[in-house]
Structure 1
Amino acid sequence: MPDTPPSLDPVQLGTYFDLIEVTSLLRHAVEQQLRQAGDLSYVQFQLLARLGDAPAGSHRMTDLADGVVYSRSGLTYQAGLLEKAGLVVRSTSPDDERSVTVTITDAGRARLAQVLPGHVEVVSSLLFEPLSRTDVETLAGLLAPVRDHMRSAPPRSAAPRRRRQG
């Protein structure tokens, strides 16, 4: 007799579907705002925001891919679009010539400043407005260990590459 496959109880299933729906609705609204305010995709905004927060305004591409949980090839494409727009520059990493470093430009910082107020407004009104401060603190306390658990196994973008035989 085969083992019973794992299942979710009704509360777990409902919570899962609620989380997915909330995430989808919020992401859709954020993406619309970013496109309208600054002609940026959500991933492009994430890249600019991470670079803007970095002390030197730079990160290695692999670190960015891990941070935004995006494929290396997809990130390379997005960084290329941002570079064509003059919002970032890419260069060989000073620490490792096999790595590429991405650095935000002044134009990138200006674009980030352009979209940020609307971004904060969308997130505040959709996600935080219906919650009390205590609810927000509780939600943060619930999500942090889940995020940490999921990050304990690195995303594919951060996993070591297999060496080719041959």
Structure 2
Amino acid sequence: MSATHPDGTGDASGTEGDAALDPRQLGAYFVLTEAVSLLQHQVEQQLQAEGDLSYVQFQLLARLAHAPGHLTMTQLADGVVYSRSGLTYQAGLLEKAGLITRSPSPDDERATLVTITDGGRALVARLLPGHVQVTRRMLFDPLSDDDLHHLGDIMTRVRDHMRAQPPRSAAPRKRRPKPPAPPPA
């Protein structure tokens, strides 16, 4: 798909010779990344103060709390867009704290099933009101109902476009090159 600059000339897609975003695209990008960073910072502060959890740990617990059963590690990694190794580390911390359990899948020897414990559910329930309060204050209070509708529509389209690419956790693992065979003796 090709796009043109606002003046109708050239290709603004950032491909083949045009590596720059036009000023409106650049402005929108910086506003979006700053808003996401500000929101995430406030949420992280609330989660750390009230539950001694990181943002990623809360995301994992919240996904598990709202899942109809267990999830695989891959499903969790895809859902929170986190690396396999990072997720394994975070899951280990949550398991050590008694907030989740991990077990091998009876259906797929490569999969690990993750389930939230009653303690994990209780922690999510305790943190959720503060999480909602911060989110509402930082993100939703300045928006009208019409703004909220448009924001939801726009971000859904952007997310769906991004999700059309394979998730990082589903990408094939890089294989290590085999060491060269020793020379014949």
TM-score normalised per structure 1: 0.94
Q: Does 1:137 align with 2:142?
A: no
- Counterpart of 2:98 (choices 86, 89, 96) is 86
Output aligned runs, 1:5-154, within 5 Å. Answer: 5-56=18-69, 58-154=70-166
1:6 is matched by which residue type in structure 2? A
Cα shift readout 1:46-90 (whole Å, capped 9, x = no counterpart)? 10011001111x100011101110000000000000000000000
2:103 is matched by which residue type in structure 1? S
- Identity across matched positions, percent: 66
Q: Which portions of structure 1, spanning 4 or more consecutive aligned residues, are displaced by more than 6 angstroms?
A: none
Instruction: Give SS of 1:35's match.
Output: helix
TM superposition shift of 1:134: 0.8
Distance in 2 (alpha carbons) for counterparts of 1:43 and 1:134: 30
Q: Is the 8 A contact 1:46 1:68 kept in 2?
A: yes
Q: Structure 1 or 2: larger helix share? A: 1
Gaps of 5+ in 2: 1-15, 179-185
Instruction: Give SS of 1:4's match.
Output: coil
Counting matched residue pairs gives 163
Instruction: Give SS of 1:30's match.
Output: helix
| Bigger CA radius of gyration | 2
The structure, 1 or 2, with the larger RCO (C-alpha pairs under 8 Å, 6+ apart) is 1
Gaps of 5+ in 1: none
Distance in 2 (alpha carbons) for counterparts of 1:15 and 1:164: 40
TM-score normalised per structure 2: 0.84
Q: Is the 8 A contact 1:63 1:158 kept in 2?
A: no
Distance in 2 (alpha carbons) for counterparts of 1:59 and 1:160: 20
Cα shift readout 1:7-53 (whole Å, capped 9, x = no counterpart)? 21111111100000000000000000001111110000010011001
1:123 is matched by which residue type in structure 2? T
Distance in 2 (alpha carbons) for counterparts of 1:53 and 1:158: 22
Q: Is the 8 A contact 1:48 1:109 kept in 2?
A: yes
Q: CA RMSD in A?
A: 1.3
